[in-house]
Structures are given as C-alpha cells and as structure tokens.
Amino acid sequence: MIHPIVVYGDPILKKVAVDIEKDSFDLVQLIADMYETMYAANGVGIAAPQIGKSIRLFVIDAEPFDKKRLKGFKKIFINPVIIHQDGDKWAYEEGCLSIPGIRYDVHRHSTITIKYFDENWVERTETYDDLKARVIQHEYDHIEGVLFVDHLSSLKKQLIKGKLTNISRGKYEADYRVKAPIGKR
Ligand code: NI
C-alpha cells in the first residue's frame, strides 16, 4: 500500500523516533509499504516518520541513483545506531521527499559505522563510505528528528525560509501523494 508522504511542517518529522520491539509491528507489510511508497515517489530512501510512524526504521534502494557508486545498495535498517562517524566532511546536493522542490548542498562525514538489525532481526555492524554513507546519514537523520535543511548555514536557512513556510502551508508541487498539512486535515 502506498502511504501519503508527510511533508515539512508536520511535527512528526522533528521527533526522535523510538525503537521497534520485535513482533510489535507487521514489519514485513510495513517494509513492503515503505518500498512501494518510495518507488512511487522516485525516492532512493525513506524513513518511517515520513509515512507518519515515529519508529526507528528506514529502507534504502539507491542503485538507480548512481549505478556505479551505489551498486546493489538496497537495505533495511531496524533500530539503527550510528556508532562512529569519521573522515572529512564533503558537500553534495541533497533533496528529500518530505521537502519537495528544495535541493541544497549538505556537508556530511565521509565514513560511518552503523549498528542495526536487518529484516530477519540479525544484528549487524557495518562501515560505509562515500555516497552510501551519505544516504544512510540522511535517512538516519529522519529518525533523529533532523532534516537536511537543518544542516544548512543560517544564511542559507534564511534564503529558503519562505519556501519552507510555503511547504508547511501546502503550497508546493509534488508528483506523489502527500499528507495534507496540519492546518488542512
Ligand atoms: Ni529525506
């Protein structure tokens, strides 16, 4: 089932999400729904808060975005914790399904180590670098209540303030289903 995507202005995107207890959700269905929602919106990753669930889960299928650097990068992260961030910060233009129409350079660490459970509840610890580390950090931010625009300098934030306000009021264009802004539900 395709879920409407929550957009900027909804307080759920600002909340630190909680761990999932085993068997507390139909995870198979939820993960399938998240992928379906993500593909329908042409995204490369989506986090549970973006479909209105404040839980620590995100899914990624980023290969279509860069067939070389992200080859085979399709993964499910349950209850993840980034335990180490390392390497020089580098800039790259990011966008977000929850912030339609805005793209900006974001500086992020080049290497991360993340501990998480996979879809079979097997605990894993893995290290990623380059674009994979970036995609993971972007999605991980979502379950920490952080959006990519939060990383921008105060000057840049000032520049896009009007656009963000418009999004929170329902004034934006998106070619996928979105949840109506708070004031209009
Ligand atoms: Ni995002």
Give 58-85 pLDDT, tens digit per residue: 999 999 889 999 999 999 999 999 999 9
Rounded to whole angstroms, the Cα distance separating 180 from 10 reads 9
Among this protein's residues, is 21 annotated catalytic? no
Selecting among 119, 123, 126, 139, the annotated active-site residue is 139
Q: What architecture is the 5-171 domain classified under in CATH?
A: Alpha-Beta Complex (3.90)
pTM: 0.96
Q: What residue segments make up the domains of the chain, in order of their start? A: 5-171
Q: Are 47 and 3 in contact (CB under 8 A)?
A: no
Q: How much distance in Å is there from the Cα of 25 to the middle of ligand 1? A: 23
Residue 183 in this model has a pLDDT that exceeds 80: no
The answer to whether residues 80 and 143 touch, using CB atoms and an 8 Å cutoff, is yes
- Where is mean pLDDT largest: 64-68, 112-116, 169-173? 112-116
Beta bridge partners of 104: 94
